Amino acid sequence: MRVNRTRRRVGGKLTTAWSERAVFEESIRLLRSNLGVVFSKLQPPLAIVTSANAGEGKTLITSHLAASFARAGQRVVLVDLNFRHPHAHEVTGGHNESGATDVMLGRKALEECLQYLELPESSGGQRRGMYLLAAGSGASDPSELLGSEATGRMLDDLAQRADLVLIDTPPVLLVADTLVLGRMVSGAVLVSASGRTTLRASQRSKDLLTHNQIPLLGLVVNKFRGHVGDGYIYGYGAPPEPLNPAG
């Protein structure tokens, strides 16, 4: 699948008929459409989103994909379990004063840590929102905490409350956290950056997931420019502003 961009000459310069933001938003809608079929069959409705390495746009894709499903009327929770480098609260305009670690360590109840984020009004004029569970205060041993029964209980609780729970996790090639979490969810989406992620890194990431019996639900190639043949290719340029600028 590809996003076509027509070009026109204005004032002697080539400009795109769509803005970079419009291309990004259309790409996210296409991604939602394709993954929606897969996500609708997940039991429990828990999916992790990971990448081979850092800097591939994983958190940005996860956050905007969650918002897209929420705009479509689903009850969505975005969970940041990348305890080593949490960024979901920055992308969404939320806060990281409390979150998943506080729930898992018994410091706070889940209800106290869930943040409701009202999304910008859609073209249809209807306002929607989604929930964010930020990473929270730091964990001394992230892998051990993520593999604990407390994590499983928290995810089970979230699965009972939502139609879809999308979990932002660390890069799969860097630490074991994602593979530990993968045993508690229904599958994984792998994000790769065009021109940055090598074929070898992508293949190794896929192998690690499948060898640990974590179903691969989809592959997203972002930061892509140009034309390709068949395949799930989603391109974007400059990142848009936060989902909820007002916080």
Angle, helices 58-71 vs 20-39, to 10°: value is: 70
pTM of the model: 0.82
Q: What is the pLDDT of residue 123?
A: 61
Please say whether the beta carbons of 10 and 43 come within 8 A.
no
Q: Which two tokens stand for residue 234?
A: 């989603």
Mean residue pLDDT of the chain comes to: 83
Q: What pairs with residue 117 in β-bridges?
A: 130
Q: What is the pLDDT of residue 125?
A: 64
Amino acid at 147: G
At which residue do the structure tokens 């994602």 appear? 178
Question: Which residues in 27-100 belong to E strands, given as ranges?
Answer: 46-51, 76-80
- pLDDT(45) > 90: yes
Q: Determine the 3-state secondary structure of 221 from DSSP.
A: strand
Q: How many CB atoms are located within 10 Å of the residue 44 CB?
A: 15
Listed range (88-102, 184-198, 216-230) with the worst mean pLDDT? 216-230
Distance CA 123, CA 207 (A): 41
Listed range (79-93, 121-135, 174-188, 215-229) with the worst mean pLDDT? 215-229
Q: Which residues contact 139 (CB under 8 A, 6 or more apart)?
A: 83, 101, 105, 145
Please say whether the beta carbons of 45 and 186 come within 8 A.
yes
